[in-house]
Every structure is written in structure tokens, then in C-alpha cells.
Amino acid sequence: MGLGPADFARARAHMVKTQLARRGVRNPVVLDAMGKVPREAFVGEGYEEFAYDDLPLPIGDGQTISQPYVVALMIEAAGARAGDIGLEVGAGSGYAAAVLSRIVGRVVAIERHSSLAEQARRRLQRLGCDNVELHCSDGTRGWPEAAPFDVIIVSAGGPAVPEALKAQLAMGGRLVIPVGRSERHQKLLKLVRRGAADYVTENLGEVSFVPLIGEQGWTRKP
């Protein structure tokens, strides 16, 4: 017999307590959002029973859904709050966008794989995430039509921070992105925009993400 809604709810509560809070995620708004979004709805078919393990899981097209701790860490580091306009690059199955949508006022999410983008759009609609608009595009270019963004989260690792994303960050805005010169081994960086060309950068530690492909990322997989 498969897991039911009550089983998933218990697993989700356990995830928030043991994987997030005990590992240092402190923002109650982030913890609340992580506790409300059903990760089992965003994993690949057949992986639902592993939805609350602290692991990345395959979602198709060579992409993965990030482990819960990393999603919470990035959203907390970005200082997401009510009323913000957020951008997520590399939306994948839509999970991080769904979590972010529970906190900020509006989310623009970009996914370059058309099949994943369509699946994510359907998932977000089913869950009533009406403040998320999802586009199939090159995320390294951002989405200038909706800029400036208070929060930008990039869920794939690039060789450098795309200039387009830096330019679309609001003054005082926060950008969290994995950056590294080798495949799947990066440093998680947080940039805060202080002026027209003034950004403060903080290294949040080692991470491992799929490659950020695009005009201002990797033109091909490294």
C-alpha cells in the first residue's frame, strides 16, 4: 500500500524539524512555507516515497529537484519576505518556486526544458500557486519585463554570475547562485546590490547543482 496524505504530512513535519530547523534554518516564515508545500507533488513519478529524504531526486531531462535543506537555505539566505518580487532561474519541477510563492508577493520562474516547464506549470496550478508565472526560456537572461527583482534564486550552477541577473536585481535586492568552474561542484554565493555597480558578495559554502546552461552560463555542459 502506498503512502497517503497523512503519511506525507507527518514526513513533511519531520523534515522541517530534523532536516531544516536542527541544521540551522531559523526563519519561521521559511520553515512554515517548507511545511506547507507537498514535495511529493514535485518529484519524478515513482519517487514519492523518498520525497522527504534530504536528497536531490531526478525529475527528467537530466535534471533534479534540490534537497529540501538546500532549498530552505537559499530562500532564507535571500531574505525573502512578504511583498517581494522574486525570480527563480532553473525552476525544474516547480518546487522552489512553490515554496517561494508562499512567502513573497509574486514569483517569476524560468525553466529552459519545455517538458519540465509544462509539468511545473500544471503542478503549480493544481496547488493554487496563482502568484507564480512560469516561462520556458533562457534563464541566464533573466526576465527584464518583470524586473527589478527583490529576490533572485538560481537553481543551477554557472561559471560566473550572469550580468543580466545582476542588472535585474533591485537596489538592496539579494541574489543567491551556485558558481564554480567544474560540473556539479560550486560555491553558493549571495550577492546584495548596494549601488548601480556595487555588489557585496558572501560565500555560503560548497554545493552541487546541475549546470546552468544558457547565453550567460555554460553554452554546453562542462
* Catalytically annotated residues: 66
Residue 25: which region, alpha, beta or left (left: phi > 0; alpha: psi -120 to 50)?
Answer: beta
Residues 6+ apart with CB under 8 A from 194: 171, 172, 200
Instruction: Return the bridge partners of 57, or none.
Output: 65
The Cα 169–Cα 130 span in angstroms is 23
| DSSP E strands, the chain | 57-60, 63-65, 85-89, 106-111, 132-136, 149-154, 169-182, 185-195, 198-207
